[in-house]
Structure 1
């Protein structure tokens, strides 16, 4: 009967971000770190930087900014409830993200509904409007 592995005391930052489900792949996590969207204790770091429980992270994903403390490490990616147990979000960060979500819901961008090229109907309306 094989002995179970003890959880590690440190791991790569890009791997932790992937396991905590902030990014869909490790390569996306690596890109975000390299572009300065992830900071460890307020400093830009490299993807191979080791993260330990108790470290503070600032993560910029899209329009959201997460400020959190690493609580645990995971060797592999698991379901969302287990991933959420890996970190504890700062209360101010949580309140700010909730406010941003409410603001987006109330004042949706008019361009958000436009996706891709105009349809034939859209093109005809554009030509009528511009007088072409």
Structure 2
């Protein structure tokens, strides 16, 4: 058996194990629709739900691996049951191309307007 925080890190759901642990402690991770602690064991067939802003990621445990593996092997250790990521989360708002220099006053106002911050 494998701890849920180790498994989430191993299948690359989180960048670090401490981030996975923090998300579990914060109540953003559920195992079979039940809140869990970081040391809870996962077994094949369990369904792990990871809440992120605007989107829930649903992962089914296929192989409870203990070590971080390559991306191809990590994809084999889980089955992704989540809905596609909403398009508005993929949009890059207020991003500037590299090498374009500092934004002008007009550019800054446009960026602030897109981010929902108005100066008036």
Name the residue aligned to 2:116. Answer: none
Normalization by structure 2: what TM-score? Answer: 0.73
Q: Residues 8-50 of structure 1, C-alpha deviation per residue, up to 9 Å, x if partnerless?
A: xx11000000000000100000011111111001011100111
More helix by share: 1
Corresponding pairs, count:
105
CA distance in 2, matches of 1:19, 1:86: 9
Runs of 4 or more above 2 Å deviation: 61-64, 119-126
C-alpha distance 125-50 of structure 1, shift in aligned 2 (>3 A): closer
Q: Counterpart in 1 of 2:26?
A: 35
SS of aligned partner of 1:84: helix
Determine if contact 1:12/1:50 at 8 Å carries over to the other structure: yes
Partner of 2:10: 19
Distance in structure 1 (CA, Å) of the matches to 2:59 and 2:103:
48
Per the normalisation by structure 1, the TM-score is: 0.67
Unmatched 5+ residue regions in structure 1?
A: 1-9
CA RMSD in angstroms, aligned pairs only: 2.6
Residue 56 of structure 2 is aligned with which of 62, 65, 73? 65
Query: In the alignment, is the contact (CA less than 8 A) between 1:65 and 1:97 conserved in 2?
Result: no
Matched-pair contact (CA < 8 Å) for 1:17–1:29:
yes
Counterpart CA distance in 2 for 1:13 and 1:114 is 35
Secondary structure of the residue aligned to 1:33 is helix
Structure 1 position 52 matched with structure 2 position 43: yes
